[in-house]
Amino acid sequence: MRGTCIRDWPRSERPRERLFKYGEHTLSNAELLAVLFGSGSRGTSALDLGRDIITHFKTFRNMSHADIQVLREFNGMADARIAMLRALFEIARRFMSEKRRARRPVNSPKEAASLLMPRLRDLKKEIFKLLLLDSKNNIIDILEIDEGTVDSAAPQIREIMVKALQNFASSIIAAHNHPSGDPEPSEEDITFTKGLTKAGEVLQLNVLDHIIIGDNRFYSFADSGRL
């Protein structure tokens, strides 16, 4: 049925109709993409496009950090659809963070890393996050402080401290990702962590940890005894 417009299919076979009748969990990955796209392009149905994309990337995770230029190479993937996909993946990351955030206070590096892993592990640029905690380690807020290049981020310690004090935080956990997937700290990471800790001591703000997120791995300065 490749190339056949979905609206020409029997209603019982169309992905959208099947979603409403049987539930979205019954659809294949390609069918879910077809529902999102709504329509295909000349000679290619929305389901064909979904199948081509899934065949190429294998998983949604791989697709979530695909280069825009690679997505543009698929027939029918205009910028509007690429923007929709990227927005959808960001919504999914935030949903995962919200679920984890709502469960309990952050009491260990593992819990903090688990909270941030879905948001940070697949990004191609270094992003610096700041967890603001109250006196019971409940999360007040999660802030994005700085966006760097592929291999460096330069968060400003003064800005971090100002944000923490403005939000009446008792403690903070700093975190950023390494796009390479290797969470081992660089010399710049070590120098920054020392400076952040000293600033916290001066302002009587507890710096509980600096966590580096890699590919399903993380490095904790607190766990490593280097805080």
CA angle 216, 192, 116 (to 5 degrees): 25
* 93, 122, 141 - which closes a domain: 93
CA distance linking residue 130 with residue 210, whole number of Å = 9
Contacts of 68 (CB under 8 A, 6+ apart): 82
Q: Percentage of the chain surpassing pLDDT 90?
A: 40
pTM for the full predicted model: 0.61
Do 119 and 191 share a domain, yes or no?
yes
pLDDT tens digit string along 82-135? 999 989 888 887 777 665 554 468 999 999 999 898 888 878 889 899 999 999
Mean pLDDT of 163-172: 93
Q: Lowest mean pLDDT: which of 10-14, 53-57, 199-203, 213-217?
A: 10-14
- The angle formed by the CA atoms of residues 30, 19 and 54, to the nearest 5 degrees, is 10
Domain count, the chain: 2
What distance in Å separates the CA atoms of residue 222 and residue 208, rounded to the nearest whole number? 7
CATH number of residue 206's parent domain: 3.40.140.10
Mean pLDDT over residues 165-193, rounded?
93
pLDDT at position 175: 94
Domain boundary among 26, 59, 93: 93
pLDDT at position 92, please?
82
What is the extent of the structural domain holding 63?
6-93
Q: Does residue 137 sit in the same domain as residue 73?
A: no
Measured in degrees and rounded to the nearest 5, phi and psi for residue 225 equal 70, 25
Could you tell me if 17 and 45 lie in one domain?
Answer: yes
How does strand 218-220 pair with strand 206-213? antiparallel
Pick the last residue of a domain from 49, 72, 93: 93
Residue 28 lies in a domain: yes
Q: Are residues 80 and 12 in the same domain?
A: yes
Q: Note whether 38 and 71 are same-domain residues.
A: yes
- With b meaning 16 or more CB within 10 Å and e meaning fewer, what string describes 76-103? bbeeebbeebbeebeeebeeebeebbee
